[in-house]
Amino acid sequence: MDDDIVLNLDTNDSPVRSKLGGSSKKGGRWTERWDFPLAFSTNSTEDFCSARSKRVSKRKNEDVPTAAEPHSRPTKRVRLDPSKQSSIQGESVAPSRAKPAEGTIRCPAHIISSLFSSNPKVDATSAGPAPSTSTSHPSNAPLDVSTLSGLGLDPLLIAHLDSRMSIQRPTAIQRAALPPLLHDPSDDAERRDIFLQSQTGSGKTLSFLLPIVQDLLPLGRLSYMDRSIGTLAIIIAPTRELAKQISDVLEGLLQLRLRPENETPDQAASTRLTRWLVSGLLTGGATRTHEKARLRKGLPILVATPGRLLDHLQNTTSFNVGKCRWLVLDEADRLMELGFEDTIKGIIQGLDGRRRLAQQAMQEEIGREVGGWDWTHRRRTILCSATIRDDVQKLAGTALTNPLLINAAQVDNDKEASRDDPPSSVQFTPPSQLSQKYTVVPVKLRLVALVALLRSLIAQSQTSEGAKIIVFLSCTDSVDFHWRLFGSSSMETTLDIDEDDGDGVPKKAAEDVPIFVTSPLLPNTTVFRLHGSLPTDIRLASISGFARASKDSIETSSVLLCTSVASRGLDLPLVRAVVQCDLPTEGGATEYVHRVGRTARVGKGGEAWSIVAPSENEWPQWVTEKMQGDTRDAKKISLVRVPIEDVLRNGFGGKGREYEERATDVQLSFERWVLSDKAHTELARKAFLSHMRAYATHPSSEKHIFHIRHLHIGHLAKAFALREAPRSITASGHKWKSGKSDTATFGSRKFNSDNARSNIERDIGRNMDTERRMQEAVRAQGRLAKQGGVLMRSGESEFQIAGGEALAKLVRR
């Protein structure tokens, strides 16, 4: 790293404090004076503050600040030239680099904040559209005027929706989709397939589930009807989480009360209507044998992920699916992105094949097939997709017959006449009531900016329900790292490193991994994680824990750290904000809209925050234009820029620029945590490297915004609480800052997993050695300190620990 980073060591008897004179004894560091950050109530900071005061009381020969002097301050670092001070917006000049004026004595005990120096200047003028504070009428809320009864829905279903789900009025997409789907024409040619497109959180799930349930309910009156009839409806979702969620909504619907309150009891007839209507989930979570047994019994409505469904279609003879009347492809664009095109084709062929076989069996009167079934009733397919890209249109061409496009926006704009037109002009936009914000954050500050943002969002919504916040990160390793970092580090973390025998193996035994962690930095908050590499039971437990958190404990907020796996379809109640710490590497503006769509659902409010690097300054304008498409209406979509200083000030509190010191202290506590254990260091390095790899996968059309050569590798390391970039990156030949060709080299190497692995392994080996010397240096520094040495800034050692020749020798050894 080339920017004068100084290791600000926090040892218990740091000479810095004693050198700072009497004031250090009284005032201590800013964290000791940080009684209650402005942004938090007394309760909310209790843990954090008590952690700090415990640490303070541990210090030998130092006084704990008293209540009478909570704001006394230690001597501040010498500022040489106010115009050249550390600043987010400008280049800084490290004080010690400046020549001291003749005759002046240079302060030896001098710590500088590396976090706020050498950051690139952020150009505020090219930062996207002008802020807009106007609030719009919610675009995905239930409609004021329409009623469900006017749409042809069975009164039993209407009563059930009202009493069990508190749903009285349809949303725009439901008003548009229910009439054609509920209408069952006698002429099979009129039974058209449907292409459904609408905004996030607008109630698409009920748009296809209600017609299915209403269609199947009357079949319960057939004398022979029981679950052995087989599968009559299949809903395919791209992920297990989404399939489980749809299955839960379906089960809620199937607990239908079948008799209106005032009707004469006819218990036997009404229970028969639904008793056979069993739903099942097929996602590969259970063993094949168990799934086969359930299929043999019969599952009239099935929710499945594509791979497992095709597997059973091909291999499970008892899977009775020949009479299937409904097929739903939910999140079809995502299915295509995940490479399920051939699987879907295989499923459609499998269903057609099974139907032919069942018909044949019925004609030949073999097997279980019953007479009286209406084989002319063709299967209807519903395809839901946010976008109508080429690949989705191709899938629609394969899967849909004579499709009808239903788009809530078009219906609202009285464009029903053009429903059969190619829908390419329909844009996928976020709900209008969503407040979209972004902040341009120097890369070095990303970690503390995230903490500050979470703190302020949590503090703002300390209502009885707490806040729910989803944070998107680039990759699974980054999610794991941040989750462990938030859960284990504290302001107390010291550099008391475990004695190491040099084998590089962490000395702590593996522990049971919990579902959530808590952090003193995020008071009354539980932190969950979600990514595709977690076992299914952990993934589902994390989602339900996050969704439930506020119900279990009043005033508990919850944060979900996740990858893009959580961007689609998940309907988690009352998510207050979505934070995109890393912008999507795949899917561009569409993925952005899906992610932000986890909040502001069905007419509720919500905030979407994006953390943008200075080199990505063009992104807000770019994403706005993509979302607006041809219908450029500047008032319609705008991202409001919030200065990073405001984010940090709101999160860390304090007067003036005091937030800089607080942010620095938080950063240092993270760095100490990373250094305190080999496993932590490895976690941080892995996250850093995986993040780099993920970043390099931005498509070429976005490289003008997201190019890896624009990133300052040393600064990025800091964002992973590393004090230097892993050597597999910085080692020979990789001149990151200047090298266009080096970037290309990395780009090509990056995709070679063998190279990457051996690089990492080599890197770990080298760093173990570096770590050992670092630890020795730290201990030696501590010994020196006890002997009256001083800690001062210097760039002379590889670890930038100052302290004279003894240390320099030790490090050089």
Q: Which residues bind ligand ATP (CB under 6 A)?
A: 142, 167, 169-171, 174, 200-206, 569, 571, 597, 601-602
Q: How far is the CB of 180 from ligand ATP (least distance, A)?
A: 17
| Residue placing its CB nearer to ligand ATP in the complex, 335 or 358 | 335
Q: How far is the CB of 597 from ligand ATP (least distance, A)?
A: 5
How far is Cα 200 from Cα 428, in angstroms, rounded to an integer?
A: 9
Please choose, from the candidates 52, 17, 59, 60, the residue with its C-alpha nearest in 3D space to the C-alpha of residue 31: 52
With tokens 């269609």, the residue in question is: 215
- Enter the tokens of residue 240: 């297990």
| Residue placing its CB nearer to ligand ATP in the complex, 241 or 616 | 241
Q: How far is the CB of 562 from ligand ATP (least distance, A)?
A: 15
Q: How far is the CB of 171 from ligand ATP (least distance, A)?
A: 5
How far is Cα 635 from Cα 5, in angstroms, rounded to an integer?
A: 44
Q: Which residues contact 418 (CB under 8 A, 6 or more apart)?
A: 410
| Residue placing its CB nearer to ligand ATP in the complex, 113 or 590 | 590
- Enter the tokens of residue 382: 């519903």
- Enter the tokens of residue 288: 């094949």
Q: Around Cβ 378, how many Cβ atoms within 10 Å? A: 13
| Residue placing its CB nearer to ligand ATP in the complex, 39 or 566 | 566
Angle at alpha carbon of residue 515, lines to 513 and 517, rounded to 5°: 90
Q: How far is the CB of 244 from ligand ATP (least distance, A)?
A: 13
Tell me the three state secondary structure of residue 578: strand
Q: Around Cβ 380, how many Cβ atoms within 10 Å? A: 23
How far is Cα 436 from Cα 127, in angstroms, rounded to an integer?
A: 14
Q: How far is the CB of 564 from ligand ATP (least distance, A)?
A: 13
Please choose, from the candidates 448, 456, 445, the residue with its C-alpha nearest in 3D space to the C-alpha of residue 485: 448
| Residue placing its CB nearer to ligand ATP in the complex, 544 or 775 | 544
Q: Which amino acid is at 478?
A: S
Q: How far is the CB of 238 from ligand ATP (least distance, A)?
A: 11
| Residue placing its CB nearer to ligand ATP in the complex, 148 or 216 | 148
Q: Which amino acid is at 665?
A: D
Q: How far is the CB of 168 from ligand ATP (least distance, A)?
A: 7
For residues 86, 91, 96 and 100, what is the CA-based torsion angle, rounded to 10 degrees?
Answer: -100
How far is Cα 391 from Cα 397, in angstroms, rounded to an integer?
A: 10
Q: How far is the CB of 735 from ligand ATP (least distance, A)?
A: 44
B/e letters for 72-109, b = 16+ CB within 10 Å, e = fewer, are ebbeebeebeeebbbbbeeebbbbbeeeeeeeeeebeb
Please choose, from the candidates 745, 738, 744, 730, the residue with its C-alpha nearest in 3D space to the C-alpha of residue 700: 744
| Residue placing its CB nearer to ligand ATP in the complex, 202 or 524 | 202
| Residue placing its CB nearer to ligand ATP in the complex, 237 or 457 | 237
DSSP tag of 422: -
Tell me the pairing of strands 233-236 and 301-304.
Answer: parallel
Please, what sign has the CA dihedral across residues 704, 707, 710, 716?
positive
| Residue placing its CB nearer to ligand ATP in the complex, 258 or 575 | 575
How far is Cα 458 from Cα 463, in angstroms, rounded to an integer?
A: 10
Please choose, from the candidates 100, 109, 107, the residue with its C-alpha nearest in 3D space to the C-alpha of residue 24: 109
With tokens 């502001």, the residue in question is: 600
Please choose, from the candidates 613, 608, 612, 667, the residue with its C-alpha nearest in 3D space to the C-alpha of residue 638: 608
Do residues 337 and 586 touch, judged by C-beta distance below 8 A? yes
Q: How far is the CB of 302 from ligand ATP (least distance, A)?
A: 18
- Enter the tokens of residue 503: 């084998």
- Enter the tokens of residue 511: 């522990």
| Residue placing its CB nearer to ligand ATP in the complex, 385 or 669 | 385
Q: How far is the CB of 604 from ligand ATP (least distance, A)?
A: 9
| Residue placing its CB nearer to ligand ATP in the complex, 253 or 719 | 253
Burial grade of 699 (CB within 10 A; 0-12, 13-18, 19 or more)? exposed
Please choose, from the candidates 574, 579, 566, 623, the residue with its C-alpha nearest in 3D space to the C-alpha of residue 603: 574
| Residue placing its CB nearer to ligand ATP in the complex, 472 or 695 | 472
Do residues 109 and 23 touch, judged by C-beta distance below 8 A? no
Q: How far is the CB of 398 from ligand ATP (least distance, A)?
A: 23
- Enter the tokens of residue 139: 């675009």
Q: How far is the CB of 202 from ligand ATP (least distance, A)?
A: 4
Phi, psi (rounded to 5 degrees) for 779: -65, -40
Q: How far is the CB of 174 from ligand ATP (least distance, A)?
A: 6
| Residue placing its CB nearer to ligand ATP in the complex, 80 or 411 | 411
Q: Around Cβ 382, how many Cβ atoms within 10 Å? A: 26
| Residue placing its CB nearer to ligand ATP in the complex, 141 or 705 | 141
| Residue placing its CB nearer to ligand ATP in the complex, 572 or 696 | 572
Please choose, from the candidates 435, 574, 576, the residue with its C-alpha nearest in 3D space to the C-alpha of residue 136: 435
| Residue placing its CB nearer to ligand ATP in the complex, 141 or 684 | 141
Q: How far is the CB of 611 from ligand ATP (least distance, A)?
A: 22
Q: How far is the CB of 200 from ligand ATP (least distance, A)?
A: 4
Helix (H) or strand (E) holding 563: none
- Enter the tokens of residue 111: 């710590």
Q: Which residues contact 368 (CB under 8 A, 6 or more apart)?
A: 228, 320
Q: How far is the CB of 142 from ligand ATP (least distance, A)?
A: 4
| Residue placing its CB nearer to ligand ATP in the complex, 571 or 665 | 571
How far is Cα 349 from Cα 355, in angstroms, rounded to an integer?
A: 10
